[in-house]
């Protein structure tokens, strides 16, 4: 399927939006780009189990608003390189990819926006490389200190995060997620508002997951989280921060959203009452 269904910038059918490959931080990333190179850059970071396509509704509006947009497949996903060693998926490496991507624009900093795991890395970049972030946008993921404290003390969050523990098992998560034409991964996306993901969308996701080591690359992010944990060097976020939170998230407790803002020097929380974890798909405007 990976060869039959495109997973590059041709999915958006806009000649002004293109696919590039950039080697940054020692890894080759597939990056979808759009906009004038002289405009301020915005980096959009997808989460699990998506790829750059998760942001396809956001690219044109941001270009029209005067930004240069870069949307990478993060390492381990879709068309980007998928290192075998789980150490390659440590937080410092994943953040290093984004800092390198920003540097490839010949700018010192960029606006960084992330959802799910992409938001976790956006938080990490802001804490590990604060000079690289102009403004920070976070969708439905908590500040790392808040998540760690809640995961280790709140049984409800432990139950919601059961899959994080399951992913630590060798080979079984890959087998589980590939069964039934990736039925478990599709089920995860369908925890969104009905109709959010079309069958065409799901075929595109299946094509990305079906690439060589496609599922292993994604799962290795979770394995590195436990096997090679790395705390950032600070807890306070200096960059102006907007946290957008879909209140019907089935994976994370909503109480963690305002707690995360407390770690921001200049933070704001916008709640979307009808939004789920997939809020940027359901409410792209």
- Return d(Cα 86, Cα 94) in angstroms, integer: 12
- 21 carries an active-site annotation: no
- 277 carries an active-site annotation: yes
- Return d(Cα 76, Cα 67) in angstroms, integer: 27
Pairing, β 68-72 against β 41-45: parallel
CB 55 within 8 Å of CB 9 = no
Q: Pick the catalytic residue: 222, 263, 280, 281?
A: 222
Token representation of residue 42? 């915005």
Q: Pick the catalytic residue: 116, 124, 210, 249?
A: 116
Q: Residue 285: count other Cβ atoms within 10 Å of its Cβ.
A: 5
Residue 47 CB partners (closer than 8 Å, separation 6+): 54, 114, 115, 116, 117, 118, 119, 120, 141
CB 52 within 8 Å of CB 208 = no
Q: Pick the catalytic residue: 115, 177, 277, 281?
A: 277
Give the active site residues. 116, 222, 277
């Amino acid at each position: 399927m990976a060869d039959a269904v495109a997973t590059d910038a041709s999915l958006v059918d806009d000649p002004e939006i293109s696919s590039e490959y950039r080697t940054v931080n020692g890894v080759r990333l597939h990056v979808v780009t759009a906009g004038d190179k002289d405009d301020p850059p915005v980096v959009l970071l997808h989460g699990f189990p998506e790829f750059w396509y998760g942001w396809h509704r956001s690219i044109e509006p941001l270009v029209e608003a005067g930004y240069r947009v870069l949307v990478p497949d993060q390492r381990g996903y879709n068309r980007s390189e998928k290192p075998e060693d789980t150490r390659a998926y440590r937080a410092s490496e994943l953040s290093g990819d984004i800092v390198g991507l920003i540097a490839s624009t010949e700018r010192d900093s960029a606006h960084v926006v992330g959802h799910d795991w992409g938001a976790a890395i956006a938080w990490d970049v802001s804490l590990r490389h604060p000079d690289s972030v102009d403004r920070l946008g976070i969708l439905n993921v908590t500040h790392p200190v808040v998540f760690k404290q809640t995961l280790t003390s709140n049984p409800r969050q432990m139950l919601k995060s059961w899959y994080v523990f399951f992913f630590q098992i060798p080979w079984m998560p890959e087998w589980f997620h590939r069964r039934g034409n990736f039925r478990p991964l599709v089920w995860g996306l369908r925890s969104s508002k009905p109709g959010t993901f079309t069958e065409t969308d799901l075929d595109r996701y299946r094509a990305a997951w079906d690439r060589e080591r496609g599922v292993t690359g994604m799962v290795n992010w979770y394995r590195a989280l436990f096997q090679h944990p790395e705390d950032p060097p600070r807890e306070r976020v200096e960059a102006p921060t907007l946290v957008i939170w879909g209140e019907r998230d089935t994976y994370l407790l909503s109480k963690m959203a305002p707690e995360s803002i407390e770690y921001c020097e200049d933070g704001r929380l916008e709640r979307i009452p009808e939004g789920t974890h997939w809020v940027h798909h359901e409410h792209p405007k």
